[in-house]
Amino acid sequence: MAPALFRKLTVIGIGLIGSSIVRAARAYELVEEITIADRDPAHLERARELGIADRYCLDAGEAVEDADLVIACVPVGAVEQVALAIKDHLKPGAIVSDVGSVKGSVVRQMQPHLPAGVHFIPAHPVAGTEYSGPDAGFAELFQNRWSIVCPFEDSDPAALDRLVGFWAGMGANVECMSAERHDLVLAITSHLPHLIAYNIVGTAADLEKVTEGEIMKFSAGGFRDFTRIAASDPTMWRDVFLHNKDAVLEVLGRFQEDLFALQRQIRWGEGDKLFNLFTRTRAIRKGIVTMGQDAAAPDFGRSGKK
């Protein structure tokens, strides 16, 4: 059997992503010992009942002592608090990472507090569901999904290799890019779609002329698929928009221009223009399925998953 990549892993925040990481790290034998920290005693107790780690701590500082790899899996707005809690307890040479959906802000919040001699390398698995909490995680979450790692120009190559190896060991495809590029790419592929979903579901809920019963009953016409995204965790997504403000506002501006163009095409009966756009977008969907990033099934290929 190959030796584990890391001796001691500490995960701070035992929600969907944190509990998926500890389950995967154990299932694929990537670490020898796992410690979990969470500020919520009920979440820690649930994690203990599930038996997904070796040690359970309310205190993040105590949890990282002697850890070789520390991953903060808390909402983006809470990472500075985590950095402050752990900074005096990290051992020299430890790798500190995170999974936040925004990277520039995480760097600004965490990096200034972390001591020299610790390798800080942010990351973001582009995988998830609309569920939260310790029960929501599963070991296969990262299989064949992309994980983005955002090293700095002076990041230690050996530490970077180990972190990339950890994500690859959980079944992820890994790509490295700058935090700035990450935030722009994710603004269009993830953040804007969530904003649109929250908006469309909110608009439908506020429409006076269509009843709630009709919305539920006829939701299979397309609305239903937006409701899945709009059921995502409110704390996490509030933080994403507040912390990736510039990139989201940039793509939102472009989106609004394109929406106005569509409005004009409908008003003026420009069917050719509508048809051409819908043909292009259909090809993008086909490309995503061909790349294995979704199944062709109309339920987003998620049947049977929690």
Of 88-96, 97-105, 203-211, 215-223, which segment contacts ligand NAP by CB under 6 A?
97-105
Place of tokens 């993008």: 284
Single residue of 8, 10, 15, 56 touching ligand NAP by CB under 6 A: 15
Phi, psi of 79 (to 5 degrees): -70, -30
The set of residues, in sequence order, having a beta carbon less than 8 Å from that of 4 and lying 6+ positions away, is 29, 30, 31, 32
Query: How near is the Cβ of 92 to ligand NAP at its closest, in Å?
Result: 23
Asked whether position 39 contacts ligand NAP by CB under 6 A, the answer is yes
Of 28-36, 125-133, 157-165, 248-256, which segment contacts ligand NAP by CB under 6 A?
125-133
Q: Is 253 exposed, middle or buried (0-12, 13-18, 19+ CB in 10 A)?
A: exposed
Closer of 100 and 169 to ligand NAP (Cβ) = 100
Q: Is 54 exposed, middle or buried (0-12, 13-18, 19+ CB in 10 A)?
A: middle
Asked whether position 100 contacts ligand NAP by CB under 6 A, the answer is yes
Q: 148-167: which residues touch ligand NAP (CB under 6 A)?
A: none
The side-by-side arrangement of strands in the sheet containing 123-125 is 123-125, 146-149, 173-176
Query: How near is the Cβ of 252 to ligand NAP at its closest, in Å?
Result: 19
Helix axes 271-290, 245-267, angle to 10 degrees: 140
Nearest CA to 36 out of 54, 16, 24 is that of: 54
How far apart are the C-alpha atoms of 164 and 148, rounded to whole Å? 9
Could you tell me how far CA 104 lies from the centroid of its own chain? 14
How far apart are the C-alpha atoms of 39 and 167, rounded to whole Å? 25
Asked whether position 60 contacts ligand NAP by CB under 6 A, the answer is yes
β-sheet bridge partners, residue 124 = 148
Query: How near is the Cβ of 186 to ligand NAP at its closest, in Å?
Result: 10
Asked whether position 43 contacts ligand NAP by CB under 6 A, the answer is yes
Single residue of 78, 176, 204, 231 touching ligand NAP by CB under 6 A: 78
Query: How near is the Cβ of 101 to ligand NAP at its closest, in Å?
Result: 3
Single residue of 12, 22, 123, 186 touching ligand NAP by CB under 6 A: 12
Closer of 181 and 273 to ligand NAP (Cβ) = 181
Query: How near is the Cβ of 161 to ligand NAP at its closest, in Å?
Result: 22
Asked whether position 171 contacts ligand NAP by CB under 6 A, the answer is no
What Rg, from alpha-carbon coordinates, does the chain have?
21
How far apart are the C-alpha atoms of 189 and 182, rounded to whole Å? 10
Closer of 4 and 78 to ligand NAP (Cβ) = 78
Q: Is 170 exposed, middle or buried (0-12, 13-18, 19+ CB in 10 A)?
A: buried
Structure tokens given for 70? 């520390």
Asked whether position 5 contacts ligand NAP by CB under 6 A, the answer is no
Spatial contact of 59 and 7, defined as CB atoms under 8 Å apart: no
Query: How near is the Cβ of 39 to ligand NAP at its closest, in Å?
Result: 4
Place of tokens 């990033």: 293
Query: How near is the Cβ of 131 to ligand NAP at its closest, in Å?
Result: 8
Q: 190-249: which residues touch ligand NAP (CB under 6 A)?
A: 233, 236
Binding-site size, ligand NAP (CB under 6 A): 30
Of 6-14, 28-36, 243-251, 281-289, which segment contacts ligand NAP by CB under 6 A?
6-14
List residues near ligand NAP by CB under 6 A: 12-18, 37-40, 43, 60, 73-76, 78, 81-82, 99-101, 124-125, 128, 132-133, 233, 236
